[in-house]
Amino acid sequence: MRVALFLTCVNDTLYPDTGRAVVKLLTRLGVEVDFPMAQTCCGQAHYNTGYRHEAEPLARHFSDVFGEYEAIVTPSGSCGAMVRELYPRMGERARAEGRGDTLAATLAPVVPKTYELTEFLVDVLGVTEVGAYYPHTVTYHPTCHGLRGLGLGDRPRRLLQAVKGLELRELPGADECCGFGGTFALKNSDVSAAMGADKVRNAESTGAEVLCAADNSCLMHIGGTMTRLRTGMRPVHIAEILASTEAEPAL
């Protein structure tokens, strides 16, 4: 099976390790991975900040770049939700504004074949045991757009539970938002920081070494709060845990 990796602009720029982990993991599972070099950004930040019209060319670009692939896999719950939930809505809005069906028709092909990584593993590849080894205590934070937008459910936890050496600790208040929220983190920084601090304290209370999530944007906020609060915990993307093996263990 040949899939396109939609890494996302944030991961491409700031978290290349996550991208390398996804490639390593999928390849190990027999998937042929391509990284279309023309990919940029899904337009989520624009859309969610109120610039839907600025997001439209980015969505069209996404569709041009990824339209031909069998499946599109992304290690980001929120960018996955952008394509799956909000691209159709952008098409509807354009129609309501009297701009016809063109946008909806352009975006339609990529919507059903875009998968968040854990969803792709469990639903498409049908695996929960991916041959990973990660000898650390981990607590899992389900990010909002993965949890409530895509409905990832217990898929990430099932994958983590099957990882050799990994001890999973329950995160109190797991389903509460970490406070990132894109531009929310800047526009309402006091509230965002308070939410982040509470999330980090809950994570600390588990005694785990690692807080794991399926979205680096949230991890950037949580991790930045962790170092500021000098907790000694570290944020790790789930792809890096699942890619880790006894031969090549991740940190």
Q: For the segment 63-102, give every residue that binds other proteins (CB under 8 A).
A: 89, 93, 96
Nearer to other proteins, 14 or 105 (CB): 14
- Strand ranges, E, within the chain: 2-5, 32-34, 71-74, 114-116, 137-140, 167-169, 210-213, 234-237
Assign residue 232 a region (left: φ > 0; alpha: ψ between -120 and 50; beta: otherwise). Answer: left
Would you count residue 234 as binding other proteins (CB under 8 A)? no
Least Å distance, CB 167 to other proteins, is: 26
Piece of 108-116, 162-170, 206-214, 219-227 that binds other proteins (CB under 8 A): 219-227
Structural element, H or E, at residue 58: helix 52-66
Least Å distance, CB 54 to other proteins, is: 4
Least Å distance, CB 155 to other proteins, is: 18
Would you count residue 28 as binding other proteins (CB under 8 A)? yes
Piece of 104-112, 155-163, 201-209, 220-228 that binds other proteins (CB under 8 A): 220-228
Least Å distance, CB 199 to other proteins, is: 9
Neighbours of 202 (CB within 10 A): 18
Least Å distance, CB 186 to other proteins, is: 4
Would you count residue 13 as binding other proteins (CB under 8 A)? yes
- Within 139-198, the residues that bind other proteins by CB under 8 A are 144-145, 148-149, 175-177, 179-197
- Between helix 52-66 and helix 87-96 the angle, nearest 10°, is 120
Nearer to other proteins, 167 or 212 (CB): 212
Least Å distance, CB 223 to other proteins, is: 7
Piece of 113-121, 127-135, 203-211, 223-231 that binds other proteins (CB under 8 A): 223-231
**Cβ distance 3 to 34 under 8 Å?**
yes
Least Å distance, CB 134 to other proteins, is: 19
Nearer to other proteins, 191 or 251 (CB): 191
**Cβ distance 33 to 22 under 8 Å?**
yes
* 126-151: burial string, b at 16+ Cβ within 10 Å, e else: eebebbbbbebebbbbbbbbbbebbe
- As a whole number of angstroms, the distance between CA 222 and CA 143 comes to 11
Piece of 101-109, 163-171, 204-212, 216-224 that binds other proteins (CB under 8 A): 216-224
- As a whole number of angstroms, the distance between CA 88 and CA 91 comes to 5
The pair of structure tokens assigned to 209 is 């070494």
- Within 107-146, the residues that bind other proteins by CB under 8 A are 144-145
The pair of structure tokens assigned to 65 is 């770049």
Would you count residue 204 as binding other proteins (CB under 8 A)? no
